[in-house]
Structure 1
Amino acid sequence: MAKKRRRNTPAFTMLAWLGLIVFTLLVFVGLYTLDAELYVKGYYIMGTVGIIISSFTVAKVVRDNQEDDDDVKGNFDS
């Protein structure tokens, strides 16, 4: 049985998650210290959360489409 090779090293995976967490926290700290009314902060928080969720979704869709393309091309090569 062939062992499946991982695409990313554990260090790179940790770096990606750490970057997401640190920069998300920095945005929220900036919003918390922002001298604006609550509805303005809420607007920015909703936008930030939407961007984070959308980035995960786009990354998954792009990866899935790439894997599907590789599977389809692989089927025609046989």
Structure 2
Amino acid sequence: MKKKAYRNTPAFAFLAWGSFAFFVMLMLIGLYTLKEPLMVKGYYLMGSVGLISSAFTLSKVIRDNQEDEERYNQMFRALPEKERG
């Protein structure tokens, strides 16, 4: 049976999630201590949440496109020379 191989070490994954949580916490502390009305704080919070979620989505799309390109290239190399065009 083949052992599952991960691309990143557990330490790197911990660093990535830890830094993400740390900076989200800093952003929330900054919003909480901001001397502006609640409406302005809400605007900044919505913008920040939108930016974070779109960054996750963008990174997933880029990764998926790269994996699809690699899979296509593997399939293309496996075809006989006549079928490649």
Fold conserved (TM > 0.5)?
A: yes
SS of residue paired to 1:31: helix
Q: Calculate percent identity across the aligned residue pairs.
A: 54
Q: C-alpha displacement at 1:6, in angstroms?
A: 1.1
1:48 is aligned to 48
How high is the TM-score relative to the length of structure 1?
Answer: 0.94
TM-superposed CA distance for 1:77, in Å, is 1.0
**Shift of residue 29 of structure 1?**
0.2
Equivalent position of 1:9 in the other structure: 9
Alignment of 1:1-78 (within 5 A): 1-78=1-78
> What root-mean-square deviation, in Å, do the aligned CA atoms of Structure 1 and Structure 2 show?
0.9
Structure number with larger C-alpha Rg: 2
TM-score (norm 2): 0.87
Higher relative contact order structure (alpha carbons within 8 Å, sequence separation ≥ 6): 1
- 1:5-53 CA distances to partner (integer Å, 9 max, x unpaired)? 2110010001000011000010010000000001000000000000110
Mind listing any 5+ residue stretches in structure 1 that lack a counterpart? Answer: none
Give the SS at the match of 1:5. Answer: coil
